[in-house]
Amino acid sequence: MMVPLPTKYFLVKGAGHGNTALNSFDFALLESGVGDTNLVRMSSILPPRCQEIEPIKLPGGALVPLAYATITSSNRGEIISAAVAVGIPENDDEPGVIMEYEAASELNHVEDIVVQMVKDAFEYRGRALKEIKVSGATAKVEGNTSVFAALVLWY
């Protein structure tokens, strides 16, 4: 196999404000613990038998595969939220499913939607769902504001 299959995952989240939209996004990444890495955005499949771990300090400059939701706004006073949810299958030999969602909305609304997305994905795959784990971030916009939530895959 040319690319090793990740065996671990963890959930992260962050929010940030900055002078520009990119600075606010960068600050949200730093707050989440992935700011000094190279993000490799992936589609939404959790490898079979992948084990959840506590977030770890990632090596600076590492290529980090992750599924993420993010939103940036400069509409002062607006509430923005981003969330990821991962569905863990009953059968450990089957892959899980990760979903991401972001909106100018309260966090509980965004989390409800992303959880339903996971349930739908399992249903149309005909796969039994053992549990769903969710992580989300929210902020009230002050200038340029970003929120970020991700599932990080690791080895």
Q: What is the pLDDT of residue 1?
A: 54
- Does domain 8-154 sit in CATH 3.50.20.10? yes
Helix (H) or strand (E) holding 90: none
* Dist CA 121 CA 119 (whole Å): 5
CA 131 to chain centre: 17
pLDDT digits (tens, 9 = 90+) for 36-70: 999 999 989 999 999 999 999 999 999 999 999 99
Q: Is 132 a residue whose pLDDT tops 80? A: yes
> Which ranges constitute the DSSP H helices of 33-139?
107-125
Could you tell me the pLDDT band of residue 3, with boundaries at 50, 70 and 90?
confident
CA distances for 2 relative to 38, 71, 127, angstroms: 20, 33, 28
Domain boundaries, the chain: 8-154
Q: Catalytic residues, which ones?
A: 38, 43-44, 100
Q: Which two tokens stand for residue 136?
A: 């989300």
pLDDT digits (tens, 9 = 90+) for 75-125: 999 999 999 999 999 999 999 999 999 999 999 999 999 999 999 999 999
With tokens 């940036």, the residue in question is 72
